[in-house]
Structure 1
Amino acid sequence: MRSKIIIAALAAALTGSAAYAEETTLTISSYGGQYQADQAKAYFQPFMARNPDIKIIEDSSTSNAKLKAMVETGNVTLDLMLTDDSFGLDSDAQWLEPIDYTIVDRSKFIEGAAGNYRVASDIEGTVLAYNEQEFGDNPPKGFADFFDTEKFPGARTLWKYAASGIFEAALIADGVKPEELYPIDVERALKKLDTIKSDIIWWETGSQAEQNLASGEAAMGLVWIGRAANIADKGIKVDWTNWTSQAGYWVVPKGTKNKEAAMKAIQFFTEPEQQVEFAKLMPYGPSNKNAKIPEDSKFKGLLPTDHLDTRILMDSEWWAKNGAAVDLRFQEWLLQ
């Protein structure tokens, strides 16, 4: 009898050890701050509740360079990372695991949101925001008006970054059709930017963009939608006639030991229920085309995905190949 008890106890102990050993720890790196806190509410916590055998550890030091170094040294400590439009392209294949579309449903995403090595977490945008008090019943509408300083006088605030959408905005204002933007005619874009150069207040952080508009120093600007939404109560309005589309993307580092769990997480994070929950917290649209935002949602109307018919979809592959050269020319122009 005693031997049976001992055997049963050993069996229970071994079963418990096996269950413990099978628990997966998924390390996810994102942008930190309120953005990541809202991701935790909408994505991470519900995922762990649904998958008790997977524990998520959060990291907020997301860095393309860090990921590359991990892969190159064989010391991969991240399983899933959020990145921007500049990374996760086919040209970055050496550092990334292909998205496993037997786990992730590729058909559920809006155009441009699902690539070979990345999947959009949310759809963001750079929009034309303006001070309502400056223009009253005659606000600017679209990039052409943004460049029209006679009809719409006042300072403009722009991101001091070549791949921010300012080249696309300048060309659209100059009459180029969205489908004919690429390859970017750099000199034509800079010539158009010359027409407002003396009216530009450059920003390099989102908080600077907010301050420039909220203080009245700038009458209008091309700013991130999240920043425009932050100061809506200060009389800042958004025009959606033209806007450039960006996104946050999930990528999986090559060599992760938890590839299947990472793909499972991507699939869950991009399901309609989770996408809607995140859009209730942040003014970023869902990458899942089946996610329906309630009409009474706080950011309904301010989500980029409410205005997909007017978006300018930036060509990330083109910028990846040409960005360095364009930026060099941009820096020269800034000094002229």
Structure 2
Amino acid sequence: MKKLTTFVTIVATALAGSVAAQDKPEQIVVANTGGPYLQAVLDATGKAFEEKTGIEVLGDGPQTLPQLQQMVQANRVTWDVVEVPPVFTMRYCGELFQELPADLQNYDNVLPGFANKCGINIAGYANIMLYNTKVFPDGGPQNWSEFFDTEKFPGKRGLWDGAEGVNLEIALMADGVAPEDLYPLDLDRAFAKLDTIRDDIVFWRSGAQSTQMMESEEVDMMMAWSSRAYPALKNGAPFEPVWNQHIIYNNVLTIPMGVPYPEVSADFIRTAMEPAQQARVSELYPVTPGLIGAEPELDEAGEKVFAGTKERAESAVVPNIQWVADNSEEINRRWTEWLNN
């Protein structure tokens, strides 16, 4: 009887191990904005996770909210971890994104104002002004008021085609609103100010397009994400960043509803939050680490657009993400009306 019991125990243990092995995926898919940033994440965090777990990490991008909505509604979610703007998780927590494990909801050393129960800071950037040094060899605009001054600084201005970024905030600062008084946003005042430069705006619709604009010198000045300014400067684009009234932003890592292995997704996020991985990703592509205290070693172009220095972080404008999330429907409606008028 003892031998039979032992045999049953051995078989049960083996089966349990087999089930555990079956429950472990061979690979997971991480989605973000794509391009060289996605490759940096795969080369840094992806390889570190593979070494720890034996699970291959694949990438996909650019990710979009409509794609994710379709996946969740069809119960065919192929993204195991997704990096998104924080407003998405604030708006769709529990609907498109599941709540993170408790340890990932209680990080003390991340910038406040971006994380919530369904997302944790992972990488940031600054929305910065840059000007073409060939066009303005003696110095270009140094604040948003001068960016909107078409007489003093004539030329084409590049702006992102979207309302939930920073266009409304920079328009209000250009109109004299102090950063600490931006919220609640005065939408009428913001759109009235945007009207003053409308004929001089060239819109970009992806980070890659903003990089190309600088490299081709299609615009004379622009608002761009610091991380997307990096490859342009690296490739010799004659643009100079202005570190004044820059608006800092952090994306968050999330777990979509309906992923087959949520525990594995959470483990990937834990790896991504390690200081070594945060620094390494920034070295490969100069996003600002979401983790306070990570210290990447950067090249010259990276240092020019890195938002994580103490001085630049302290002087940054921090958006009220929750207000934007709560008012996104009205903001987007007004933006669409403005564009189509």
Q: TM-score range by the shorter chain?
A: 0.7 to 0.9
Q: What is the match of residue 130 of structure 2?
A: 129
What's the CA shift for 1:172? 0.7
Q: What is the match of residue 62 of structure 1?
A: 63
What per-residue deviation string (whole Å, max 9, x for no partner) do you get for residues 176-234 of structure 1? 12122122111111221222222222223334433443344421011222332222212
Asked whether the 8 Å contact 1:96–1:251 carries over to 2, the reply is: yes
Q: What is the match of residue 290 of structure 2?
A: 287
Q: What is the match of residue 316 of structure 1?
A: 321
Summarize the alignment of residues 130-169 of structure 1 with structure 2, pairs less than 5 Å apart: 130-169=131-170
Q: 2:324 is matched by which residue type in structure 1?
A: W
What's the CA shift for 1:49? 0.6
What per-residue deviation string (whole Å, max 9, x for no partner) do you get for residues 218-266 of structure 1? 2101122233222221211111102223333211123434223222221
What's the CA shift for 1:274? 0.3
Q: What is the match of residue 88 of structure 1?
A: 89
Distance 1:258 1:129, change over 3 A: same
What per-residue deviation string (whole Å, max 9, x for no partner) do you get for residues 58-113 of structure 1? 44473433434444455544432222243111553233221223356511212234
C-alpha distance in structure 2 between counterparts of 1:302 and 1:189, whole Å: 27
C-alpha distance in structure 1 between counterparts of 2:57 and 2:174, whole Å: 46
What is the total number of aligned residue pairs between the two structures?
330
Matching of residue 201 in structure 1 with residue 206 in structure 2: no
3-state DSSP class of the match of 2:118? Answer: coil
3-state DSSP class of the match of 1:106? Answer: coil
Provide the aligned C-alpha RMSD in A.
3.0
C-alpha distance in structure 2 between counterparts of 1:295 and 1:157, whole Å: 27
Equivalent position to 2:332, from 310, 324, 327? 327
Q: What is the match of residue 121 of structure 2?
A: 120
What per-residue deviation string (whole Å, max 9, x for no partner) do you get for residues 292-317 of structure 1? 22366761241122222232223333
Q: 2:185 is matched by which residue type in structure 1?
A: I
3-state DSSP class of the match of 1:139? Answer: coil
3-state DSSP class of the match of 1:300? Answer: helix
Q: Which runs of 5+ in 2 are unaligned?
A: none
Equivalent position to 1:299, from 275, 288, 302? 302
Equivalent position to 2:39, from 29, 32, 37? 37
Asked whether the 8 Å contact 1:68–1:95 carries over to 2, the reply is: yes
Distance 1:184 1:104, change over 3 A: closer
Of 152-161 and 280-289, the range deviating more from structure 2: 152-161
Q: Which runs of 5+ in 1 are unaligned?
A: none
C-alpha distance in structure 1 between counterparts of 2:232 and 2:330, whole Å: 35
Percent identity (aligned): 28
3-state DSSP class of the match of 1:256? Answer: coil
Q: Give TM-score, length-normalised by structure 2.
A: 0.84
Asked whether the 8 Å contact 2:42–2:57 carries over to 1, the reply is: no
3-state DSSP class of the match of 2:280? Answer: helix
Distance 1:28 1:314, change over 3 A: farther
Matching of residue 181 in structure 1 with residue 186 in structure 2: no
Matching of residue 270 in structure 1 with residue 273 in structure 2: yes
